[in-house]
Amino acid sequence: MSREKRIGTRVDAEFDAYITVDDVVTPVKTLNLSLRGALLRGCEDCPIGTLCELHLPLSPGVRIVVEGKIVRAQGQDAAMRFTDIDELSFTFLHRLVQLNAHEADDIDDELMQVFRKM
């Protein structure tokens, strides 16, 4: 997908994580993150359309959990679009993206644009 079609800031963020697909757990590494999705490495068996859940441990007992769908797959890499996230996980994700962004204020601006459209 071209950068022009992407909505939202993606930040380089390499974290160990795992995805679950039908009770199968696969370790992955995030390559980048946004409020709407992630690029994952280690998803050789995740074809486009796969519904999955991403678990991103932050510390013992604290993790981001988000449901999503694989929207692009090439080799070991897969792009996941987030489809559902609970409030606490979103709070953690928002802060994580904000901390890794070149312009942290841009992340809040993007979030406000979503609310203005509602």
Is 60 exceeded by the pLDDT of residue 6? no
Residue 79 is assigned to a structural domain of this protein: yes
- Domain CATH code at residue 109: 2.40.10.220
Residue 2 is assigned to a structural domain of this protein: no
Residue type, 31: L
Contact status, residue 55 vs residue 68, Cβ threshold 8 Å: no
Residue 99 is assigned to a structural domain of this protein: yes
Quick: pLDDT tens for 81-106. Answer: 999 999 999 999 989 998 888 877 77
Q: What percent of the chain has pLDDT over 70?
A: 89
**pLDDT for 117:** 56
| Diameter over CA atoms, the chain | 39
Residue 3 is assigned to a structural domain of this protein: no
Residue 1 is assigned to a structural domain of this protein: no
In terms of Cα–Cα distance, which of 77, 95, 83 is closest to 54? 83
Number of structural domains (the chain) is: 1
**pLDDT for 16:** 96
Distances (CA, A) of 30 to 36, 37, 53, 109: 14, 10, 13, 24
In terms of Cα–Cα distance, which of 79, 55, 49 is closest to 67? 55
Distance separating alpha carbons of residues 49 and 32, to the nearest angstrom: 20
